[in-house]
Amino acid sequence: RREEVSTPKRTKEIIQKYGFQFKKSLGQNFLIDQNILGKIVGAADLDSSKGALEIGPGIGALTEKLADAAGKVVAVEIDQRLLPILGDVLQPFSHVKVVHGDVLKLDLKQLFQEEFGGVSQVSVVANLPYYVTTPILMKLLEERLPLENIVVMIQKEVAERMAAAPGGKEYGSLSIAVQYFSEPELVCVVPHTVFIPQPNVDSAVIRLKVRQERPVEVRDEAFFFEVVQASFAQRRKTISNNLKSRFFAKEDRTELERLLALADIEPVRRAETLSIEEFARLSNVFHEAGV
Ligand code: SAM
């Protein structure tokens, strides 16, 4: 077997051979570090009975490691210019399939049915394009795909916001959305030097263990997320002031106080101090009162 794609030497050779030009607009920063690749694949807890979905395989650095670790690999790549390279690099692996497309537009439920019928569990494993990290992750979570883990390299600040606990400035609606669907865990922080070209931001690997059951009982999910968004609208304002501007006319202010008391939430608190349980309680009380 040939040398790994991800050694700096072979990556440069491949790029030269095909005359590949990086597109910044597609978030193309390729990994050239065996150690980091090993950590990413290790965190996904794969074996030959499981499948892996990779988003953005690039020239296949991570894909070939996934091929070694999983029974089936599907890699979705938007950039047509990479397809001949991937065809060449991944040629030894009959259980790897490259799909050309934009992951945000693909019917993933159908892809799962067609490609992952023979595996016990599927995890998403990827070094994500940073310009679309949040839309991609929210799509994976909200569509409730049958996933075990999502292990991704993303911008460090975004990883910290996803994993944040109540009380700090990183905690916000993104933390709540991600934690409602999964249990996040920071795997490692990654230096710029493991990519070519090097990105301008710090990176981190995060693992989202996808929840099989919701952590709290929410009567109306869309409304729950609306209440969360509204509560964080202006971070320095109290929860009561944020909710007032969003949901209550001037004459209904006493109703807001009554409902906050019913949900056992002090009106002077700020959204960043509320747990998911408290947001669930609040949105359920609002929902029942017909807010
Ligand atoms: N996995 C490779 C690696 O680690 O070296 C490349 C990672 S690079 C950060 C992101 C990859 O995602 C690029 O190959 C890019 O073309 C691809 N990409 C960008 N937007 C995409 C989208 N919407 N759908 C699928 N792939 C996308």
Query: What mean pLDDT is predicted for residues 119-139?
Result: 97
Query: Which tokens go with 207?
Result: 């693992």
Query: What mean pLDDT is predicted for residues 80-86?
Result: 98
Give, for 126, the enclosing helix (H) or strand (E): strand 122-127
**Predicted pLDDT at 240:** 95
**Predicted pLDDT at 235:** 92
Q: Atom 3, ligand 1: which residue's CA is nearest?
A: 30
What number does the ligand 1 atom closest to the CA of 153 have? Answer: 9
Residue 2 pLDDT > 80: no
Give me the interface pTM, i.e. the ipTM. 0.99
* Tokens 């067609």 sit on residue: 114
Question: What Cα–Cα distance (Å) separates residue 38 from each residue in 9, 26, 43, 119?
Answer: 18, 24, 9, 22
Residue 29, annotated ligand binder? yes
Q: What is the DSSP string of 47-95?
A: -TT-EEEEE--TTSHHHHHHHHH-SEEEEEE--GGGHHHHHHHTTT-TT
Q: Is the CB of 27 under 6 A from ligand 1?
A: yes
Helices (H) and strands (E) in the chain, counts: 12, 9
**Predicted pLDDT at 252:** 81
Residue 170, annotated ligand binder? no
Q: Atom 12, ligand 1: which residue's CA is nearest?
A: 56
3-state helix, strand, coil in the chain (%, to 5): 45, 15, 35
Which residues are registered as beta bridge partners of 76? 55, 99
**Predicted pLDDT at 231:** 98
Give the mean pLDDT of the chain.
96
Residue 102, annotated ligand binder? yes
What share of the chain in percent tops pLDDT 90? 96
**Predicted pLDDT at 1:** 62
Which residues are registered as beta bridge partners of 155? 203
Q: What is the pTM of this model?
A: 0.96
Span 164-212, pLDDT tens digits: 999 999 999 999 999 999 999 999 999 999 999 999 999 999 999 999 9
| Distance from the alpha carbon of residue 114 to the mean position of ligand 1, in angstroms | 22
Residue 86 pLDDT > 70: yes
Residue 56, annotated ligand binder? yes
Span 3-29, pLDDT tens digits: 899 999 999 999 999 999 999 999 999
**Predicted pLDDT at 58:** 98
